[in-house]
Structure 1
Amino acid sequence: MTRAHDDFLDDLSLAHVLADAADRISMARFRALDLRVDTKPDLTPVTDADSSVEESIRSSLARARPRDSVLGEEFGASDPGDWRGNRQWIVDPIDGTKNFVRGVPIWATLIALFTGGRPVVGLVSAPALGRRWWAALGHGAYAGRNATHANRIGVSGVKSLSDASFCYSSLTGWEQRGKLDGMLSLTRRSWRSRAYGDFYGYMLLAEGAVDAMVEPELSLWDVAALIPIVTEAGGSFTDLAGAPAPGDGSAVASNGPLHGELLTALSD
């Protein structure tokens, strides 16, 4: 084990501390009668919980990692650099805001650390589900209620699409990207298909509960924390062109053996 990999454990421990504080804020606002919901310029919703969670994480990082930059969904980048720089934390304060607004418990805070453009730490905390997933480069992937009550997780060994549980986001984005036929073909050829959406399909993949998860378009904060968890669990994670994620903003994640078939079906 390299010294660099040891260092990432300290960053992972910090991510847990950040998530603990985020969970307290978000759960206090979940299903609150006075929850404030606004509409961003891209027509997606944002709540006062989104803003408060990100502010909390940024404040803690400013104290604990003052030399690191931060990129968050609600407040952008803390410096003019980007995720290909040295060390950058990438935060989605509430992934699944539409679920959060409607009282659906499938939402999470996503926290990632990139070094030199490479995702090395990922943590997904879903307090309304009472579950958290995390990974650091070279240390495997884990899931549980918290860091002290956890089990190591791994992807499935399913080798045939006809035996696979296939997960995807809504079909609208695939239609807009001109790949709806490929998507429908995969749903027909799979043993089972479900649209869990957001972070949840990827975490089910990392646990071996589903075998593939695909999305046509994602922002960096949507996917950054997911990559280390899926890959440290033994899975594959690329964009639609087969390039290492985050790539072009699309996502194809699998248990590994199914990856080539997924890319072929979704190719132009």
Structure 2
Amino acid sequence: MATHADDLSVALRLADAADEITMARFRADDLVVDRKPDRTPVTDADTAVEDAVRSRLAAARPDDRILGEERGGTLGADRTWIVDPIDGTKNFLRGGPTWATLIALVVAGSPVVGVVSAPALGRRWWASQGAGAFGSFGGAAPRPLRVSGVRSLSDVYLSTTDLNTWGPALDRYLALVSECWESRAFGDYWQHCLVAEGVLDLAVEPVAYAWDLAAVQVLVTEAGGSFTDLSGRPGFDHGSAIASNGHVHDAALAVLQG
């Protein structure tokens, strides 16, 4: 199996650059906020981060493609970097600390490197294919991540993002809630990182995009978990996601599918 140590180093340096930009604009009085055609917000920090990442990748990896939430792009058949400059923009613009920059490298359709950096929380998570998943919290030394050992839905700690995104399928999600021990809405990237840490056992998103999921997919799978869409297809680019410790994956899918 090919190693991606150099690519991971690039991704970590990109995250460092992103953190400098986002923290300088976090809670800024002159933060500029616009609304995209899908009515989701975008700030000047979002675009500044993506532009900075693209510029650095053009120098470091000139032959690779780039797909970003704000500037677009396409997913290539070989090497594509996928960037979500600020995942959790609504939290960012309201002054909440639970937002992050997500950076992934996808090779031949599979994420092989993922970095999630949440500087306002003092947290960063990263993984590369075959080399495991790691986290650093509050400046402490990195530690390996491992999913939980929970095996029964009745013991599961569950999270989603926003109940409104479930639409007509909300009853299926509520059916899953009723089968589980506890539920929260940690939302966005954070719930998947918490699955990788073993804090949560299950995170479910009915609507998500490639830039939301590529980095967290490699994080969860390298921590020993499972990652599919809501129909059970492996992958980050099918429009939905369920991340789990692996043990409860099939049981959760069965409830969601009715």
Q: TM-score range by the shorter chain?
A: over 0.9
Partner secondary structure for residue 49 of structure 1:
helix
Give yes or no for the alignment of 1:258 onto 2:245: no
1:56 alignment counterpart: 52
Q: Which residue of 2 is the match for residue 153 of structure 1?
A: 145
- For 2:30, the equivalent position in structure 1 comes to 34
Q: Give the secondary structure class of the aligned counterpart of 2:7.
A: helix
Q: 1:23 aligns with which of 19, 32, 46?
A: 19
Q: How does 1:191-202 map onto structure 2 within 5 Å?
A: 191-202=181-192
Q: 1:75 to 1:146 in 2, by over 3 A?
A: farther
RMSD: 1.3
The sequence identity of aligned pairs, in percent, is: 57
Mind listing any 5+ residue stretches in structure 1 that lack a counterpart?
A: none
Q: Report 1:68-83 matches (<5 A).
A: 68-77=64-73, 82-83=74-75
Partner of 1:110: 102
- CA–CA distance in 2 between the matches of 1:204 and 1:67? 34
Residues 176 and 255, structure 2, Cα contact 8 Å, conserved in 1: yes
**Alignment partner of 1:114: what SS?**
strand
TM (normalized to structure 2)? 0.97
1:186 alignment counterpart: 176
Distance in structure 2 (CA, Å) of the matches to 1:188 and 1:148: 37
- What is the match of residue 43 of structure 2? 47
> Which residue among 164, 167, 170 is the counterpart of 1:172?
164
**SS of residue paired to 1:93:** strand
Residues 239 and 246 of structure 1 are in contact (CA less than 8 Å); yes or no, is this contact kept in structure 2?
Answer: yes
In structure 1, what is the equivalent of residue 91 of structure 2? 99
Equivalent residue number for residue 127 of structure 2: 135
Residue type of the alignment partner of 2:241:
A
Partners in 1 of 2:191 and 2:163 — Cα distance? 15
TM-score, with structure 1 as normaliser: 0.94
Q: Which runs of 4+ in 1 moved over 3 A?
A: 145-148
Decide whether the 8 Å contact of 2:159 with 2:200 is kept in 1. yes
Inter-CA distance 247–241: structure 2 relative to 1 (3 Å threshold):
farther
Alpha-carbon separation, structure 2, partners of 1:57 and 1:183? 36
Contact 1:110 1:124 in 2 (8 A): yes
- Cα deviation per residue 1:56-88 (whole Å; 9 max; x = unaligned)? 1000000000000100011011xxxx3241000
2:229–2:235 contact (8 Å) kept in structure 1: yes
- Whole-Å Cα distance in 1 between the matches of residues 81 and 184 of structure 2? 31
Structure 2 regions of 5+ residues with no counterpart?
Answer: none
C-alpha separation between the residues in 1 aligned to 2:235 and 2:94?
30
DSSP-derived class of the 1:224 partner: helix
